[in-house]
Structures are given as structure tokens and as C-alpha cells.
Amino acid sequence: MSAPTNVQRMDKIVSLCKRRGFIFQSSEIYGGLNGLWDYGPLGVELKRNVKNYWWRVMVHERDDIVGLDGSILMNRVVWQASGHEDTFSDPMVDCLLTKKRFRADQIEPRSGTAYYFSGAVDVQRLLQKFDAATHGGASNVRSEIEARKNSIFSVMASWKTSPDLNLRKIESALRAELQSDKNVVSDFEYSVLVPPGKPRESAQKIALHFYAERGIENAELQGERSEAITNTTRYNPENGSLLTEPRPFNLMFKTYVGATEDESSITYLRPETAQAIFVQFKNVLEVSRKKLPFGIAQIGKAFRNEINPRNFTFRSREFEQMELEYFCRPEQGMELLEYWKEERLKFYENIGISRSRLHVLTVPNEERAFYSKGTYDIEYDFPFGAQELEGVAYRTDYDLSQHQKASGKSLEYFDEETKQKFIPHVVEPSAGVDRTVLAVICEAYAEDEAPDEKGKMETRIVLRFHPRIAPIKCAVFPLLKNKEPLVAKAKEIVDLLRPHMYVFYDESGAIGRRYRRQDEIGTPFGVTVDFETLGEKDAALRDTVTLRERDSMKQDRIAIKDLPSILISRIR
Ligand code: GAP
């Protein structure tokens, strides 16, 4: 079977996610809300499994890391001291025609011919205004307007300084008329980029549309000129319209705490979980009695008012982060940066992501935060391109120093051995839960062939999740639903497994269909109770079942009593 293109593949993944209850659009019945998503019954299990595994390897299996669950709303000074209030922004531009907003740094450079217009005039209305300003007199001036309508404002500017008092009066009366009706003349400069091979008329069409939007209905364009342009990012890639100049757009959602909505009650929904860790550093240090190097881990929601949410859940406005702040001595920073990069790569491999689809990007000096001495981005080959899953950054002592300065409270560490006091440095692996979930779904999605009921090969959609993160670990099927002893045995098996894992019982439809439904949601194991289980054909097979493995579709005969240990060892 030919592999679907990347766009097709992504479309299939998005549709499977909705159809099988992994991810829904938020507020869908009201038309949704851009950049916000809800995880359905299977999505929530997958997400939990990813977070639980992160917590297990980052906290429970180590002596040097403890956890924290900080509040989402914090004192505004936290965001002032961290620099977020002043600098946590993306450059944004708006399309002058459609008002659609883009991130300036995400616009692909384009080449073509730029057509410039100095404005537009509705000539009929202009003449009506002229007649109103002069009570129908000054016909010589009226014909000058008709002849030079394309430069009406420069014509009027020349009257303004004319020694002819009558012309100066007409100028001021006409200007007053034009100001009272903005739909006659626009001197707003506008331009359109037309790709090679497209005619000048297409630029004029867009420009007329632009001026019509500004109220100039039957416009004649003014001052047209053109020029070839290469690699510009100043135009809307979708329609060629000029964009506004880039402006910084702060990504934090502002809110008010308490009953009054004024300056004193402002705070923000946190845009990262890390700051709670920095401001609780001293408390956690005291209660946990850890020595450097040690870390504080946290999983929680973060919010960013992204200009362009896109690629399904990849860039959302509400998402979850899994962050570790690993505090150390200054001289350990660079070495720990390498250590954490490797640890984090292992994590992704351990949840089933192939190393060949993970890339480590060394963030160049000019793109790194000024306080960082080294940053890696771990990227995954999504169907829409290689994109960041996680950042691993050596943030030096910047954050703790900023909070010490702003709060006036010491955030220093006292080294018992050397008797030195200093602000620890920190290495931060910061991963997105939603991006990891999307990556494991993209990685797991496969189409292959499997026999149907009659042995004929048919296309099978299968999510090859690593058993450790699969939403449902094992499905249990009685061969026939109307044979009471089969049903009773299957239910016994469900009760046996349930304390250890999430199990699904299914008795409806042909067994092949039931397998297929589980394959599509990534259930790694299927247990079937058949007549052999009841010992009807061979007493030696009593209390055995078939255990089917999702990927190979291989079936083994297993004693029911061995099922928990076999499955537990494979899903851990
Ligand atoms: N404390 C550092 C920090 O927040 P970041 O690179 O801005 O660094 C870390 O974010 C991770 O959070 C990203 O690698 C990504 O996985 C996730 N993330 C950031 N913005 C996101 C968004 N809009 N939607 C989904 N995940 C996002």
C-alpha cells in the first residue's frame, strides 16, 4: 500500500482523533474556539499515561528530584521580575485587507511585482462635494478637478498657498466637505504583491477591494507605480495585500484578581510553569533538605494567547507543560545540559518514538535568551515538518537572581562543606504534554493489511502505541455473547486484571471486528475466551485463553492465572 502524503496523513490522524474520542475541538457545538482542545475518553488516558511516565522517571525513580504543584495565578510581580510582562511577546502583523493576524517571523519570504497606490477617489462623489462647497460655481476649478482627480490632495495643497483668495476659500470649504464624508477620497498608501506571471489587473482588483472596504465605493486608483521585489515578508501570503508594520504582542492572558478591575488587581494566567518553581525554591530546599545538584519537577497548565494557533494541538492557547528545574553549581551547568539532553531523548524513545525521527537542534547564540549559556531544542518529524517538542536550556542563575532582587528575599544556597553562599544555576528541560501526545499519535498511526472474517485481506488502521502509554492495555472478549459460561469467564478475567491496568470488555459483533476496533485505538493486547477455555474440547486447555498481540496479530495460548504477570511486565 502506498504511503499517504504528509497532508493526507495529518488529515487522517485528526479525523481518527475525533472519531475515536481522543481529541475534540473545545466548545464544538458553538463553533469552537481557536487554539483550544478537549481530550476525550481515550485522549485523557493517553495524556495521563504520558504524564505519569514522565513523573515516574523524573521524580519517583530518582533521589535528587522532588515535585511541586504551583498555582496558575501568581502575584503580578513574579511576571515583572521574570521579564515576561515586558518581553514575552511575538511580533505580529495584520493584513490591511482582511485584518487576519500573522506572526511576522512565520511569514515565508516571497518575490514578485509590488504595485503601489497613493490613494483612491470616487470621482462622481468628489464632484458632488465640490458643487456643495462652491454652490455650483467656479466651473473652471471644477474642470481642473476632473482633469487632475488622481492627485486631488496635491491640487488642493497648491490652492492652499495660492495668492488667489477665492481658491483658498474653495480649498477650505472642499476640505471640510471631504472630512465630513470619508467615503469620497482616501490618501492611504497601499500596495499589493503579485506573484510572477499574474497580471497587473489582479493587483488593481485587490486594491479596489481594499479602498471599497474603507468606504470608497466607485474608486479610481491614484498614483500607481510598480517595482520587482525579492524575498519580502511585508505581504499577506494568502492574498498579496500589504501587512501592517510588525508590533510586539504580549502572549500572556491578562486577568483581574478580586472584585475590582483596576491596575492593582491585574495578574496573568501563567505562560509557563517554571516560575512557581523559582519562587518556591527556598521553601522546597528547606523542606526536602536536598543538596546540589537537585531538581524540582512540575506538570501543569500554561496559557499563551498565540497569534496563530495551528497544526492541530501543536500550537494551542491552553496546554500543559512538564518542566524540571535542575539546580546546580555554576561549574556543573554545561555538563548537566548535555546530561539532560540525553536523558530526555531516552524518555521519548521509551514511549515509542523512534530516535530517527527525533532531532537535536543547537539553538544559535543570536536566538538564545541573553542569560542562557546553551539551549537545545528537541524536535520531532511531525507530518507537517520537524518541530519543537521540548527545550533543554541552561538558564544560569538568571531566574533566581531576578526574584531575589525583586522580592528582597535571599534565594542563596549555603554549601555546608565549603561554607560558601551563592545563587544556584539551573538547567531546565521543558516539555509540552500536548505536543508529546500529538507526536506519539503521529508516530503510532499506521495502515497495514489484515484478514477479514472470510480471510480476505483488508486495510487495517492501527495505532502502534508503546504498551506503556496505550490508553487501554487489554481488551477481553468472550467468543460469543450468548454463551453464558464464556461471558462469565471473560468477566472474571476483567476483574482479575482491573486492579493492575485499564481493561475493556467487548462482547458485541464478530471477533474480527472487535479486534479491528481495538487496533484502531491502539490497544496492545486482546484476550479471547473460547470453548477451549471451558475445557470442552481438551481438558488440558481448561482455563487458558488466546492472547493476541496488536502489531504482529500473533496469538498465544496462555493460562489465565499467568495473564496478570505477563501483561504487567509488558506494560510497565
Ligand atoms: N520554561 C521554558 C518554556 O516555557 P518554551 O520553549 O516556551 O519554554 C516549552 O516552552 C515547551 O512547552 C515547548 O517545547 C512546547 O513543547 C510547549 N509549548 C510551548 N508553547 C506551546 C503552545 N502554544 N502549544 C503547545 N505547546 C506549547
Give the tens place of pLDDT for each residue, 22-41: 999 999 999 999 999 999 99
Report the alpha-carbon distance of residue 493 to residue 509 in Å, rounded: 20
Q: Is 435 near ligand 1, meaning CB less than 6 Å away? A: yes
Distance of CA 432 from the midpoint of ligand 1 (Å): 6
With residue 398 as reference, give the H or E element that holds it. helix 398-407
The predicted model gives 50-78 an average pLDDT of: 98
Q: What is the pLDDT of residues 332-355, one digit of tens each?
A: 999 999 999 999 999 999 999 999
Report the alpha-carbon distance of residue 429 to residue 345 in Å, rounded: 11
From 501, 498, 557, 484, select the one nearest 527 (Cα to Cα). 557
Q: What is the pLDDT of residues 160-208, one digit of tens each?
A: 888 999 899 999 999 999 988 989 999 899 999 999 999 999 999 999 9
Residue 272 alpha carbon, nearest atom of ligand 1: 4
Q: HEC states along 352-381? A: CCCHHHEEEEECCHHHCCCCCCEEEEEEEE
Asked if pLDDT for residue 2 goes beyond 80, the answer is no
Q: What is the pLDDT of residues 207-260, one digit of tens each?
A: 999 999 999 999 999 989 999 999 999 999 999 999 999 999 999 999 999 999
Q: Which residues pair with 67 in a beta bridge?
A: 297
Q: Give the pLDDT band (50/70/90) at residue 537.
A: confident
Q: Would you give the DSSP letter of residue 553? A: -
Considering only CA atoms, which residue is closest to atom 4 of ligand 1? 272
Provide the CA 267 distance to its chain's centre, in angstroms: 23
Amino acid identity of residue 413, one-letter, is Y
Considering only CA atoms, which residue is closest to atom 7 of ligand 1? 272
Distance of CA 140 from the midpoint of ligand 1 (Å): 67
Q: Is 395 near ligand 1, meaning CB less than 6 Å away? A: no
The predicted model gives 552-568 an average pLDDT of: 97
Q: Is 304 near ligand 1, meaning CB less than 6 Å away? A: yes
> What was the pLDDT predicted at 5?
62
User: Are 154 and 145 a contacting pair, CB within 8 Å?
Assistant: no
- CB contact set of 232 (below 8 Å; sequence gap of 6+): 109, 110, 111, 114, 193
Q: Is 316 near ligand 1, meaning CB less than 6 Å away? A: yes
Distance of CA 319 from the midpoint of ligand 1 (Å): 8
> What was the pLDDT predicted at 476?
98
Cis-peptide, bond into residue 293, ω within 30° of zero:
yes
Q: Is 532 near ligand 1, meaning CB less than 6 Å away? A: no
Q: What percent of the chain has pLDDT over 90?
A: 88
Q: Is 468 near ligand 1, meaning CB less than 6 Å away? A: no
From 404, 416, 521, select the one nearest 460 (Cα to Cα). 521
Q: What is the pLDDT of residues 474-517, one digit of tens each?
A: 999 999 999 999 999 999 999 999 999 999 999 999 999 999 99
Report the alpha-carbon distance of residue 452 to residue 553 in Å, rounded: 13
- CB contact set of 167 (below 8 Å; sequence gap of 6+): 141, 159
Q: pTM score > 0.75 for this model?
A: yes
Report the alpha-carbon distance of residue 222 to residue 204 in Å, rounded: 11
Distance of CA 269 from the midpoint of ligand 1 (Å): 14
Q: Would you give the DSSP letter of residue 29? A: G
Ligand 1 pocket mutation, candidates 37, 319, 321, criterion most atoms within 8 A of CB: 321
**Joined grid coordinates for residue 39:** 481530550
> What was the pLDDT predicted at 320?
98
Q: Which residues pair with 379 in a beta bridge?
A: 359, 388
Considering only CA atoms, which residue is closest to atom 21 of ligand 1? 315
Q: Give the Cβ contact number of residue 338 at 10 Å.
A: 14
Distance of CA 397 from the midpoint of ligand 1 (Å): 21
Q: Is 390 near ligand 1, meaning CB less than 6 Å away? A: yes
Distance of CA 394 from the midpoint of ligand 1 (Å): 16
> What was the pLDDT predicted at 441?
98
Q: What percent of the chain has pLDDT over 70?
A: 99
Residue 256 sits at φ, ψ, to 5 deg, of -120, 140
Report the alpha-carbon distance of residue 47 to residue 434 in Å, rounded: 8
Q: Is 388 near ligand 1, meaning CB less than 6 Å away? A: yes
- CB contact set of 564 (below 8 Å; sequence gap of 6+): 496, 497, 500
> What was the pLDDT predicted at 249?
94
Report the alpha-carbon distance of residue 427 to residue 372 in Å, rounded: 9
Residue-wise DSSP of 25-54? ETTGGGT--TT-EEE-HHHHHHHHHHHHHH
Q: Is 431 near ligand 1, meaning CB less than 6 Å away? A: yes
Distance of CA 522 from the midpoint of ligand 1 (Å): 27
